[in-house]
Amino acid sequence: MPDKTDRQPHILALANQKGGVGKTTTAINLAAGLAELGKRILLVDIDPQGNSSTGLGIRPDARKKTSYDLIVDGVALQDVVIETGIPEVMIIPANADLSSADLDIVSNEKRSYLLHDALRRPEMEAYGFDYILIDCPPALSLLTVNALVACNSVLVPLQCEFFALEGLSQLMLTIRDVRRSANPDLRIEGVVLTMHDRRNRLTAQVEADARANMGDLVMKTTIPRNVRISEAPSYALPVLTYDPGSKGAEAYRALAREISDRRKTPEVSEA
């Protein structure tokens, strides 16, 4: 068991109900980037696809207990928190069992608070995590609501493509509903633009629209389209490990620094 510490981790959910926006890629590489800054990270995979788990090298047969067991059955943290190959990054893995989680918890009167309570058990303090990152499923499901209730803030990956901003409004409404009902301190950490191609006129237009509509909520860092980012998951590695000098790796390092710096300054105001 890790050494005891009284540090309280910052819990950050990565959410977007649209798939293919770089959410899981951002979760994996942000975890690695924060670890490079000397932070201790727990990545909680609550996506039934389990891509964060696969991307960090956790084989299916190594997922004896998963986030399903934590949320639905309340198993002990030490049974689900496992090491990854990345120093200072641990994970609670996921598998397809989560596909039925919404149905399995819908009758529980605390159904929206199960992840919140699990991540605040006293035994969590012994791990000494600085950040807990939650990789949400690409849907505004009960699992995503659990993440929004559990977290301190939300990071929204937004791809630089047509219709990107349209789908964001429903997520923002859900965040506001959760803030009113279950987590009044919930904040939007920021919106990070992914698949950014400076040579593309559409990218420039999406970025301009996002910054005009959301102002300082849009992170200064953008994540480029980069072949190394795309290749890294096939090696079960973050791009920061797979190709440390690539533009993708440098971008995720910059994002990690920007998020870490925000913890040292007052929170960004929201629209």
Evaluate whether residue 1 is within a structural domain.
Answer: no
Residue 41: its H or E element = strand 41-45
Range 153-157 average pLDDT: 97
CA distance 58 to 82: 9
Q: How many domains does the chain have?
A: 1
Mean pLDDT, rounded, for 33-59: 97
Domain region containing 169: 10-258
What pLDDT was estimated at residue 3? Answer: 47
Residue 270 falls within a domain, yes or no? no
At residue 271, does pLDDT exceed 90? no
| Tokens 């890629």, located at residue | 25
Q: Which tokens go with 249?
A: 């790796």
Extended strands (E) in the chain: 10-14, 41-45, 82-83, 89-92, 131-135, 153-159, 187-196, 218-224
Residue 266 belongs to a domain: no
Q: For the domain that residue 97 is a member of, what is the CATH number?
A: 3.40.50.300
**In the 8-state DSSP scheme, what is residue 148?**
H
pLDDT of residue 6: 52
Mean pLDDT in residue range 59-69: 96
Is the distance from CB of 159 to CB of 194 less than 8 angstroms? yes
Q: Domain for residue 267, yes or no? A: no
Residue 263 maps to a domain: no
CA 172 to chain centre: 16
Give 231's pLDDT tier (boundaries 50, 70, 90). very high
Flag whether 5 is in a domain.
no
Q: Is residue 264 part of a domain?
A: no
The answer as to whether 2 is a domain residue is: no
Token readout for 8 is 């309280």
Q: Specify whether the CB–CB gap between 71 and 146 falls below 8 A.
A: yes
pTM of the predicted model, to two decimals?
0.93
